[in-house]
Amino acid sequence: MPDLLTAMNPPQAEAVQQIDGPLLILAGAGSGKTRVLTRRVAWMIRECKVAPYEILAVTFTNKAAGEMRERIESQLGKVEGLWVSTFHSACVRILRRDIGHLGFDSRFSIYDDSDQERLLKEVLKQLEVSERDMKPRAAAAAIDAAKNRGLMPEALTGTDPQSELVAKIYKRYQQRLQQANALDFGDLLLQTQRLFDEHPKVLDSWRQRFRYIMVDEFQDTNRVQYNLVRSLASGHGNLCVVGDDDQSIYSWRGAEVGNILGFERDFPGCKTIRLEQNYRSSQTILAAAQALVDRNDNRKKKELWTENPSGEKLTLETLPDDIEEGRYIADEIVKLQRSGRKLRDMSVFYRTNAQSRVIEESLRGQNLPYVMFGGVKFYSRKEVKDILYYLRLLVNPVDSVAAKRVINTPARGIGAATVGRIAALEEEAGGFLAACSLAVERGALPKAASGKVAAFVALIEEFRTHLETQPYPQLAADLIEAIGYAEQLRIEKTEEAKNRLENIEQLLAGMEETAANLASLQEYLEQVALITDLDSYDPSLDRVTLMTLHAAKGLEFPIVFMSGMEEGLFPNARSIATMSALEEERRLCYIGMTRAMDKLYLTHARRRRMFGSYQYNPPSMFLGEIPAKMLDAVAPSPALRHVGEHNLASLFEQVGGEGALVDEFSDDHDDVRMIPDAEAGLRLGMQVRHAKFGVGAVRRIEGEGDHQKVIVYFKTAGSKKLLLKFAGLEPA
């Protein structure tokens, strides 16, 4: 058996052997936390004789969970009873066993975002709420935010008409979910917490089972996830959390960096171990990223270091516009490929998906293959989803969203009017499928429609009888032929139909592959529902990877291009409102930089086409926070001279401020209002002093005369928009 402490540095070895009590492992970027986590589990089982079924290890992606399990079993061999899973998967397993206490059936469906939106449209219609007053997506966002905070509908307080409306919609939405025996993603966590809160004996049984709990990526937990692990760990206190507050970037979906910052306070007697040796990046990349993130105040201090070589300086390139930026990136990739680098070694990051189009066009122009996160996922394609909805309905016949989707798919002559008549009986019947039968029995439908609806119900009931006796890949294949889905595509004989048919064949092949491990159709549908983009990432394909900075977390590449390094884009315009938002943007930049192993490119454009018009934004303030000695000065861009030391102001001066852009792009100057630097003696990047807020840098100047306003970033107070006439600013 391998020595579990081999090739581990002292803090890593200490973390592996620290088993009992609360433990906080602050794991810096690239510090080998997965090795620590997996060997810690192996140490518990092999050296401390902890039973595998007493351990719960949770993380945030199926990919990470799979990698953890593989590494553990490489140390110990096959391990039975050990739970290594995502939060959502763990909660599904708990709910499958105990959700009956909450009035649901264990065969519940899991609704994705599109199911949620479809159901909310019905709820708004039922409540006679116009989409002008509340759009389904807005309602979904408000409900998700409440669930992330652990709030059920009755806990929402309506302090204004809009809040009262959200509470009303949320309450009705939850009623409809329960009628459909369905949970959305937020419910998987929230209903588990509700189960533990309302049924102490259920909590106690799970708490006794899981005597040791480990949580990866703890900085990404929301309020409910924190409450869940705290509930399970109460009593024995054997909770180990691993994370890095410098990599907390998901506040927009409910993550609370305070969970990791306050862990030592919430768990008295907690031991803290810092993993600060980086094994991924060159010394130069690491030092540049450290200098950046050190600007944040709300963080636990860590000093990352590495024994890796110094490596190359960061390449900082200024391009005239986004088209030239895309061409530059593609040209550099070609040069790197010719020098012997593999395409799979390279990745291009961007702050928003809208930036990818120009980069894609440039890569295609050079015939460079690429793979992009955030495209249409396989399981989201129409034909695949149609079949999955049929299968969902077989498992959970009260799933009304699924029933409405497939009743006329493929077309069988059941129109919207017929569906409306059936839906009117849905509440009484206890589901849409049951309402179909009730409508036929009562003669509520025209004769032709009645026959077609009856045939649809008979089809579903017939296939439901084979659920327990027939392997689900064969059941699905028979269903596809019985409804004529494949035959209809064969008749079309178009290229699109051919592709859709191939997707269906791929779906069936995937079922065959998983049937050995996932014996039931319910297990298969559950796995599909919880799949993410990252789970389909295949690093063996020799292609350039394109992705947003948020998607890049958890990955690493020898060569990274970070594009669009401009004010208003990155950091984005919304983040200037508060210090906490700006610090999260800086953490996102830090994550992007620390994905790079050998070489890091930083690019920005003087003008960028966004939403149909040109934006002229100065370089990102983050560029000014990287020490100049770490930037490549061998072939400086004419637009951005290298200087011995620089700050944000010097970067602005080098590109000439916004005023300089009028000359270069005079044909487009009407697209933006340029403010001459001479007005009021201010210029972009200039250091100024305010009586209340202290010293700051000018980031934007708007308007003119008495109405002129200035946005200044103050280190102590964040960004402030001031009326220049009364601001009392002085040169710093």
| The one catalytic residue among 14, 17, 18, 34 | 34
For tokens 């592959």, name the residue: 513
Phi, psi of 270 (to 5 degrees): -65, 135
The residues, any chain, with a CB within 8 Å of residue 468's CB and separated by 6 or more, are none
* CB of 526 closer than 8 Å to CB of 52: no
How far apart are the C-alpha atoms of 319 and 605, rounded to whole Å? 5
34 belongs to the catalytic site: yes
- Dist. CA 701–CA 485, nearest whole Å: 60
Is there a contact between 185 and 175 (Cβ–Cβ < 8 Å)? no
In a 13 Å sphere around the CA of 156, the CA atoms on its Cβ side amount to 23
Q: Is 33 a catalytic residue?
A: yes
CB atoms within 10 A of CB 168: 17
Query: Of 247, 277, 284, 548, which is the active-site residue?
Result: 247
Catalytic residue among 33, 69, 71, 223: 33
Q: What is the DSSP string of 24-65?
A: EEEE-TTS-HHHHHHHHHHHHHHTS---GGGEEEEES-HHHH
Cα–Cα distance for residue pair 367/18, rounded to 1 Å: 52
Residue (of 353, 364, 273, 298) closest to 327 by Cα position: 364
d(CA 180, CA 172): 12
**Structure token pair of residue 694:** 């202290």
| 708 φ/ψ sector (left φ>0, alpha ψ -120 to 50, else beta) | beta
Whether the link from the prior residue into 410 is cis, omega within 30° of 0, is: yes
**Taking the CA of residue 724 as centre, how many other CA atoms within 13 Å lie in the half-sphere pointing to its CB?**
19
Burial of 303 (0-12, 13-18, 19+ CB in 10 A): exposed
Look up residue 557 and give its two tokens.
Answer: 């590449």
Query: What DSSP character marks residue 647?
Result: -
550, 533, 564: which is closest to 355 by C-alpha? 564
Catalytic residue among 54, 112, 216, 325: 216
- Catalytic hit among 385, 587, 595, 606: 595
Identity at 559, one-letter amino acid code = I
State the Cα angle at 599 between 596 and 602, rounded to 5°: 85
Catalytic residue flag (residue 217) = yes
Exposure string over 701-712, b if 16+ CB within 10 A, otherwise e: beeeeeebebbb
Distances (CA, A) of 423 to 6, 123, 172, 411: 64, 12, 16, 18
**Cα angle: 639, vertex 637, 608; to 5 degrees:** 60
264 close to 270: Cβ distance less than 8 angstroms: yes
Helix (H) or strand (E) holding 233: helix 223-233
Task: Name the active-site residue from 98, 112, 184, 217.
Answer: 217
Segment (H or E) for 474: helix 472-482
Beta carbons of 720 and 693 less than 8 angstroms apart = yes
In this structure, the dihedral spanned by the alpha carbons of residues 166, 167, 173 and 175, taken in order and rounded to 10 degrees, is: -170
With both helix axes pointing from N to C terminus, report the angle between 87-98 and 185-198 in degrees, rounded to the nearest 10: 50
Rounded Cα distance, 263 and 574, in Å: 29
Contact 606, 319 (CB under 8 A): yes
As a whole number of angstroms, the distance between CA 518 and CA 527 comes to 9
State residue 348 phi and psi, 5-degree precision.
-115, 125
CB 387 within 8 A of CB 378: no
Question: Which residues are part of the catalytic machinery?
Answer: 33-34, 216-217, 247, 595
